[in-house]
Amino acid sequence: MDMPRDMQAEDLAAASDEVVLARYAAGDPVAARVLTLRLVPRALGYAGRLLGDAAEAEDVTQEAMLRLWRAAPGWRAGEAQVSTWLYRVVTNLCTDRLRARRRRPAAALDEAPEVPDGARGAEAGMIEADRLGALQAALAALPERQRQAVVLRHIEGLGNPEIAAVMDIGVEAVESLTARAKRALTAILSGRREELGYDGEE
C-alpha cells in the first residue's frame, strides 16, 4: 500500500479510504482534506437521522473524525473498511447521547428541516419539508436498533454484511431489524399520505 510521497489531490481523490488514511498518517495534509470531504457528509447525515438534532449530529461527527485521526497511525490494513469503522463509532456515540437524553427531562421538539432554496414553489417546498419532518419523526419513534439498521440500509445504502459489522450483529439479525423497522414506518406513516401530499402517488 506504499504510495508516492508527492501524491496530488486528484490522485488521492481517486484512492481508497484506506490509502488516503495511510497518507494522512504519513503526514500528508491533503489527505486529511480529501478524507474529510469524503466522510464527514455521510457521518453527519447518519448522525442527524439517528439523533434528530443537527447540533448534536455535528458534535458526534467531529468526535468520530477526531477518533479516526487518532487511530490513523496504528490502522491495520485489511481489518475493517474505514467507512464501516466510522459508522460504528458514530452509532456508538449516538447511542450514548440517546441514552443520556432518556435520563434527563424531555427537550422541546426539534425544528423542522429547512426548506432548500430552488426554483420550486413555496407549496412544493412546504410539502417536502413536511415529508422530511414526518420521516424524521417516524424514525425517532422506532426502537434504537431498528432505526440504526433501517437508516444504514435504506438511507445510507449499506449492504447487510456491512451493517452487521457496524452494529456488531449477524446478517440475519440485520434482516430482521430492517424488516420490522419498515413495517413500523409503514404503519406510522400510512395514515398521513394525503396530509403529506402523497395522495395519488406511489
Residues 41, 47: Cα–Cα separation, whole Å: 10
Do the Cβ atoms of 110 and 52 come closer than 8 Å?
Answer: yes
What are the percentages of helix, strand and coil residues in the chain, rounded to 5?
70, 0, 30
Band of the pLDDT at 33, cuts 50, 70, 90?
very high
Residues 181, 192: Cα–Cα separation, whole Å: 18
- Tell me if residue 4 falls in helix, strand or coil: coil
Q: Give pLDDT, residue 105.
A: 57
Those residues with Cβ within 8 angstroms of residue 80's Cβ, 6 or more apart along the chain or in another chain: 165
Band of the pLDDT at 192, cuts 50, 70, 90?
low
Q: Look at residue 200 and tell me whether its pLDDT is greater than 70.
A: no
Tell which residue, 123, 14, 25, has the closest CA to residue 68.
25
pTM for the predicted model, two decimal places = 0.74
Residue type, 30: V
- Tell me if residue 7 falls in helix, strand or coil: coil
Band of the pLDDT at 186, cuts 50, 70, 90?
confident
Provide DSSP, 110-179. Answer: PPPPPPPPSSS-HHHHHHHHHHHHHHHHHHHHS-HHHHHHHIIIIIS---HHHHHHHHTS-HHHHHHHHH
Tell which residue, 22, 26, 64, has the closest CA to residue 43.
64
Do the Cβ atoms of 5 and 26 come closer than 8 Å?
Answer: yes
Tell which residue, 55, 51, 64, 53, has the closest CA to residue 90.
64
Q: Look at residue 113 and tell me whether its pLDDT is greater than 50.
A: no
Do the Cβ atoms of 83 and 17 come closer than 8 Å?
Answer: yes
Number of H helices, E strands in the chain: 9, 0
Q: Is the dihedral of CA 181, 182, 187, 192 positive or negative?
A: positive
Percent of the chain with pLDDT over 70: 75
Do the Cβ atoms of 3 and 22 come closer than 8 Å?
Answer: yes
pLDDT digits (tens, 9 = 90+) for 74-109: 998 777 899 999 999 999 999 999 888 877 654 444
